[in-house]
Amino acid sequence: PSVPSRHSTVKAEDTFKTSPFHLDLWFYFTLQNWVLDFGRPIAMIILPLEWFPLNKPSAGDYFHMAYNVITPFLLLKLIERSPKTLPRSMVYVSIITFVMGASIHLVGDSVNHRLIFSGYQHHLSVRENPIIRNLKPETLIDSFELLYYYDEYLGHSMWYIPFFLILFIYFTGCFTPVAQQSRMPLAALLLVGPSSLYYWYLVTEGQIFILFIFTFFAMAALVAQQRRRGLALDSNGLFLFGSFSITLLLIALWVGWLWNDGILRRKYPGVIYIPEPWAFYTLHMSDPRGDTGT
């Protein structure tokens, strides 16, 4: 008889295979997130501007290029290790959309970095920036707002929605009926802190709290449903769910700390107030020459 593909749409919950903790993948995943994503703007600050002229790709751009290649590869390897057969078409479409969105963000973010070296203030809106509002003709301002839209809205949406969707798809296979498998090894406990802190940065800087909280609630609902069936999270599922839980706590602490910041309040109006870390940095901790952002 034919054997179904590992990522076919055929379900295999009845096999209840359990994967060991993927120390190598989770370590590489966390490391490259910190170095290639969080490290992008830091590299812009540390490395001399003379090494990367403003009309050429910056160090952060090269970091972003590496991220756009390595991250989808690691996501595919993670999906391959799922003990449950997963929908192959959904995975492939998600990865393709992820790469496209991250590439759109690469271009928009690269240009925005150059604007910062010219005096652009990240904690202000496009039209409130002194170097933008005096442009002639005024239609140029619309072009910069379009660039900001590609960077902060379209790029982020096409980047992060498939990213969290893939993590959730993988999470659906992280359940086991074996009680001994429902615990995190020491390696997972050591990685959960750095992983959670990175997700805090991702959610706050990417302004994707609604997407994050929707994914977290979906994961929590799935855990409750599977518990009624006598199933519990395996070590990989506990690591992912634990990372998201701590991330939610960090976001709450971050918002509480900056709750009364009037300038950031003006940039982030509305019910959901979650300031970006780099907006806080450019407002309170840096000079215009050293500013950067995501």
Q: How far apart are CA 267 and CA 279, in angstroms?
A: 9
143, 127 Cβ separation under 8 angstroms: no
Domain membership flag for residue 9: no
> 293 in a domain, yes or no?
no
Of the two residues 262 and 203, the one the predictor is more confident about is: 203
Does 290 map to a domain? no
> Does residue 12 belong to any structural domain of this protein?
no
Distance in angstroms (rounded) separating the CA atoms of residues 9 and 239 = 26
CB neighbours of residue 2 within 10 Å: 4
For 246-278, the pLDDT digits (tens) are 999 999 999 999 998 888 888 888 788 999 887
137's tokens:
């003709």
Q: What's the pLDDT band for 110 if we cut at 50, 70, 90?
A: confident
**What is the distance between the alpha carbons of residues 270 and 265, in angstroms, rounded to a whole number?**
9
Q: pLDDT: is 42 or 124 the higher one?
A: 42
Higher pLDDT, 104 or 180: 104
pLDDT band at 283; cut points 50, 70, 90? confident
pLDDT band at 56 (very low <50, low <70, confident <90, very high): confident
Mean pLDDT rounded to a whole number for the chain: 85
Mean pLDDT in residue range 211-219: 97
pLDDT of residue 67: 95
144 inside domain: yes
Average pLDDT (228-234) is 91
How would you class 88 by CB atoms within 10 Å of its CB: exposed for 0-12, middle for 13-18, buried for 19 or more? middle
Which pair of structure tokens corresponds to residue 37?
């994503």
Residue 205: name the closest of 263, 136, 265, 254 by CA.
Answer: 254
Question: What integer pLDDT is reported at residue 289 of this predicted model?
Answer: 43
Instruction: Indicate whether 13 pLDDT > 50.
Output: no
Query: Taking Cα atoms as reference points, which of 198, 164, 190 lies closest to residue 37?
Result: 198
Domain that holds residue 187: 23-283
- CA gap 112, 280 in Å, rounded: 17
7-11, 126-130, 196-200, 201-205: least confidently modelled range: 7-11
Write down the pLDDT at residue 160: 95
Q: Give residue 248's pLDDT.
A: 97
Tell me how many domains the chain contains: 1
Predicted TM-score (pTM) of this structure: 0.83
Report the pLDDT value the prediction gives residue 70, as an integer from 0 to 100. Answer: 96
Residue 44 lies in a domain: yes
> How high is the pLDDT of residue 280?
84
Q: Per residue in 193-231, is it b (16+ CB within 10 Å) or e — as a string?
A: eebbbbbbbbbbbbbbbebbeebbeebeebbeebeeeeb
Q: Is the pLDDT of residue 132 over 80?
A: yes
**The token pair that represents 169 in the structure block:** 């798809």
Checking if the pLDDT of 180 tops 70, the result is: no
Residue 242 lies in a domain: yes
Has residue 149 got a pLDDT over 70? Answer: yes
Under 8 Å between Cβ of 263 and 123: yes
* Domain membership flag for residue 154: yes
